[in-house]
Chains A and B, each alone.
Chain A
Amino acid sequence: MKGEPAVLTGQHFLLGDHACAEGALAAGCRFFGGYPITPSTEVAEWLARRLPEVGGIFVQMEDELASMAAIVGASVAGARAMTATSGPGFSLMMENLGLAAMMEVPCVVVNVQRGGPSTGLPTLVGQADVMQARWGSHGDYEIVAYSPASPQECFDLTVKAFNTADHFRIPVLVMADEVVAHMMERVTIPPAEAIPRVERKRPRQGPGGNGFLPFKADDDLIPPMVHAGEGYRIHFTGLTHDERGYPAITAPAHDRLVRRLVDKVRQKAWEIVEYEEYRLEDVSVVIIAYGSTARSARRAVGLAREQGIAAGLLRPITLWPFPGERVKKLAERVRAFVVPELNLGQISREVERFTSLPVLGVNHAGGAMMPPEPILEAIREVAG
């Protein structure tokens, strides 16, 4: 088993998909179960070679249902586990994404967005899965979804996704898009010891003792995680369960459990939320854009400023939780928001929840990167 080390410290010229794969390896991911699908296939291809080099397990599964089930299974056995997919596969993963939320099993799903619905535009960009990312599985749950805008962020945010997943015991999404995933740019990979690592909380008492409650949460609402084969004789179920992990099919038990699952993320949303601000100091029109569209938005800011309009960019790095509080704060001193996205109005709805100012969407159903010009036009329109 000879090959390159798990952490490829140094400067590289990498495809976004490959950067996601390297981010996973650097984060300690040692199980990948996936199914080929454009435009995410390069993540699988890269890991099919790289994971065995570091003693990790790569399995090309029979479908995305199996892929998602496998990464949850690998994680309950103690591995950091990931899959990568695109729209149609993402839809198939939704049920077991909910299982991971309900069983509190950390795992990472990379969704490289393409044009949908259905088979749509397999090779071309879209950003229309962002609400599915938030609400796609049935029932109430909270999700964390990162939105990389460059290959460097594909690396960094995949590392972060594993840490967030392990810390909160939740599935975490990396919502890339085809443009970012198929773009090659410089990626700097830090030394192994500089890769941030957050470990799963583990039980403080050994197996064999009486009264161990595997799903009893601490004050942070997160229970310590027991892995298969450790002697605790633990039961995990997708059914509503009590602190013993036993099915508890009652209204009070359900409300107690689901509220905790939601609150453990919601109460720390302020810690999870990330965004980048560009030229917001004296701003009157704020563009809110993410992923590849944020790159065009940045250009539109420059063009607007050349025409004397004080435009700026708020780029959510976490789509979920959404930086709504920041929007609320900005709304106190600006005229309007412009929300360009490669869908017919998804994140713009979220922006509207946090402001009564005009929110102008710049929408295209997908298939090509959003150019700066229509964003500039929208800025001019709301600037008056």
Chain B
Amino acid sequence: MTMSTLIAERHPSDPLFRADRLPHIWCPGCGIGPAMHAYAQAMVESGIPLARHVCVSGIGCTGRVPGYLNMDSYHTTHGRAIPFAMAIALVKPELEVTVYSGDGDLFAIGGNHFIHAARRNVDINVICINNFNYGMTGGQVGPTTPMGARATTAPFGNYEQPFNLPHLAAATGAVFVARWTSLHLRQLKQAMLRAMKKRGFTFIEVLAPCPVGFGRPNDIGDAMEEMTLYREGCVVDPAAPLDSLDIDLRVKDRPIVLGNFVDVERPVFDPLAMMRPTSEAENNTAVAGKTQEGQ
């Protein structure tokens, strides 16, 4: 057997990215990049033509994701990606609309839109990169920062109870709810595929290292150490009670529970539902161009 040199001139995912925008703005060790790649792969495998995928974001490090993807992409204002995306999905129901944004954007400034879009069961996917802090502005405390964790605006440690995001999403009406990490890319991609196949409001939380904003002040050495934490500390348990999914990275032996927790059916938001024949409205297949695929 002889040694051969393999030079990859092209990556299969190249056409999915705007190569002329590189290098990206993310720090070394950031978890957003791998999660973005999982989304790109899921789009290819979804069988939905790329021209029918739309990505919408708010503001922050994760808000930059759509700008690097070679697709119809909208980088909107802080917190407002969901209503913007909802309107696109209503005007063009044949499009597969995904909101890709961060924990602060979606759950602090944008929290109201999240719960109402979930309640309505708007036909969009929401992917939230949760890195436990405001990364772009330099490591401030946020609605997902674990209690006790230090941040530039919580110098003595965070004293606020953080959100348990899967629990919140399920309680407010999401029809698909999952949590993975930027280490569990295969499972993450599968969850994204499921979300794309599903009609209605889907939610995927992606735990991701932010070694600069969150790791450094919290004695997590670097991204490798946070990834190790995910590898050693995560358990996959889709049947776990939703109220048990709180995260505390500082407690070494407390597991982080991952999985696809919710996968249910509920009528999808359709402002014209009351105008349609009863049978059509009940089946809720009236939205043009989209059908429920594989369960």
Residues of A within 8 A of B (CB): 1, 30-31, 33, 52-53, 55, 57-59, 61-63, 65-67, 69-74, 76-79, 81, 95-96, 99, 207, 228-239, 244, 246-247
Contact = CB atoms under 8 A, between A and B. Distances in A.
Interface stretch (B125-133, B185-193, B199-207, B271-279): B271-279
B260 to A, nearest CB: 27
B94 A31 contact: no
Contact of A70 (B21, B51, B52, B87): B87
Contacts of B91: 30-31, 57, 73-74, 77-79
Contacts of A71: 87
A172 B208 CA distance: 41
A247 B73 contact: no
Interface stretch (B77-85, B100-108, B134-142, B232-240): B77-85
Contacts of A237: 67, 74-75
B95 A31 contact: no
Residue among B80, B82, B91, B113 with most chain A CB within 10 A:
B91
Given A57-B271, A57-B272, A228-B92, A99 B76 contact: yes
Interface in B56-95: 56, 66-67, 70-77, 79-80, 82-88, 90-92, 94-95
B95 A66 contact: no
Contact of A235 (B52, B75, B88, B95): B75
A48 to B, nearest CB: 10
12 contacts: A52-B272, A57-B90, A59-B271, A62-B113, A69-B113, A70-B84, A73-B83, A74-B88, A74-B91, A96-B76, A228-B88, A228-B92
A77 B97 CA distance: 11
Interface of B: 18, 20-21, 50-52, 54, 56, 66-67, 70-77, 79-80, 82-88, 90-92, 94-95, 112-113, 116, 271-272, 274-275
A52 B274 contact: yes
Nearest to A3: B275
B92 A78 contact: yes
Contacts of B21: 246
A33 B87 contact: yes
A59 B21 CA distance: 36
Given A77-B87, A229-B95, A65 B72 contact: no
A65 B82 CA distance: 11
Contact of B72 (A55, A66, A228): A228
B75 A238 contact: yes
Given A62-B112, A229-B51, A72 B84 contact: yes
Given A233-B72, A246-B21, A247-B67, 14 more contacts: A57-B91, A59-B86, A67-B83, A69-B77, A70-B83, A71-B87, A73-B87, A76-B74, A79-B91, A96-B76, A229-B52, A229-B72, A233-B51, A235-B73
A263 to B, nearest CB: 24
A59 B122 CA distance: 12
A73 B88 contact: yes
Contacts of B88: 73-74, 76-77, 228
Nearest to A102: B77
A254 B294 CA distance: 48
Contacts of B18: 235, 246
Contact of A238 (B51, B72, B77, B116): B77
Nearest to B109: A65
Contacts of A99: 76-77, 80
A31 B87 contact: yes
A58 B87 CA distance: 10
Contacts of A81: 87
Contact of A229 (B54, B56, B116): B54
Contacts of A96: 76-77, 80
Given A61-B83, A246-B67, A31 B73 contact: no
B8 to A, nearest CB: 24
B116 A62 contact: yes
A33 B70 contact: no
Contacts of A70: 83-84, 86-87
Contacts of A230: 51, 72
Contact of B271 (A58, A72, A231, A233): A58
B70 A233 contact: yes
A233 to B, nearest CB: 5
A94 B59 CA distance: 17
Nearest to A51: B271
Nearest to B67: A235
Contacts of A76: 74, 88
Contacts of B92: 77-78, 228-229
A248 B87 CA distance: 27
Residue among A55, A73, A96, A235 with most chain B CB within 10 A:
A73
Contacts of B75: 235-239
Contacts of B79: 65
A229 B88 CA distance: 10
Given A76-B88, A77-B87, A233 B67 contact: no
A66 B116 contact: yes
